[in-house]
């Protein structure tokens, strides 16, 4: 499911030379299904190389970025982990999985929360890795693919600010 603003943008004709002064347009959405990849391509077509797909969480901050102009672009991937981020894919027992195996995404970043948020799904290990409650895989080249949510994820109550 794409956010309504993207559906609107994709439904509009491409503006001639956008000229909006935006230098970077990070796009963080629910995991793309294969059918959504052309939508990402359409956004790149409208806005040019300022578009990038990003992945992160409240608890970890930014984990990976896939710039549109990346010469190693892999459809469906949200890029490689940032230089200061370590990502592991783990099974339900917390054991690290090999390349291309699907499991829960665990990340250690310098931006990880040092405390737990009340009422959230937050599992942290003794090495500073945080379970994201997202499912995914790392391919043999280190590209991250987010494929869904874990069954253990329980949505927290959200409150609107303002």
Q: Which pLDDT tens digit goes with each residue over 3-59?
A: 556 556 666 555 555 545 555 555 554 444 444 555 666 777 777 777 777 888 878
Mean pLDDT over the full length of the chain: 74
Per DSSP, what are the bridge partners of residue 123? 131
Q: Which range, of 49-58, 88-97, 102-111, 118-127, averages the lowest pLDDT?
A: 118-127
pLDDT value for 66: 84
pLDDT value for 34: 42
List, in order, residues 6 or more apart from 49 with CB less than 8 Å away: 67, 68, 69
Query: Is the predicted pLDDT of residue 120 greater than 70, yes or no?
Result: no
pLDDT more than 70, % of the chain: 60
User: What's the distance, CA 31 to chain centroid?
Assistant: 7
pLDDT value for 29: 46
Residue carrying the six token digits 């405390």: 115
Structure tokens at 65: 């970025």
pLDDT value for 104: 95
Please give the backbone phi and psi of residue 66, each rounded to the nearest 5 degrees, phi first. -120, 95
Per DSSP, what are the bridge partners of residue 54? 65
* 136 — pLDDT class (breaks 50, 70, 90): very high
Q: Which range, of 35-44, 92-101, 118-127, averages the lowest pLDDT?
A: 35-44
Q: Is the pTM of this model over 0.85?
A: no
pLDDT value for 33: 44
């Amino acid at each position: 499911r794409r956010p309504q603003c993207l559906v609107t943008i994709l439904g509009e004709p491409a503006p001639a030379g956008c000229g909006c002064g935006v230098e970077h347009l990070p796009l963080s959405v629910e995991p793309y299904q294969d059918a959504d990849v052309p939508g990402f391509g359409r956004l790149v077509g409208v806005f040019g190389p300022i578009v990038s797909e990003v992945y992160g969480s409240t608890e970890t901050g930014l984990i990976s970025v896939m710039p549109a102009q990346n010469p190693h672009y892999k459809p469906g991937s949200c890029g490689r982990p940032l230089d200061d981020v370590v990502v592991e894919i783990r099974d339900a027992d917390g054991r690290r999985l090999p390349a291309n195996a699907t499991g829960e995404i665990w990340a250690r970043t310098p931006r990880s929360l040092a405390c737990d948020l009340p009422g959230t799904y937050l599992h942290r290990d003794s090495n500073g890795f945080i379970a994201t409650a997202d499912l995914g895989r790392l391919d043999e080249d280190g590209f991250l693919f987010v494929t869904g949510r874990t069954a253990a994820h329980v949505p927290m109550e959200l409150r609107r600010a303002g």
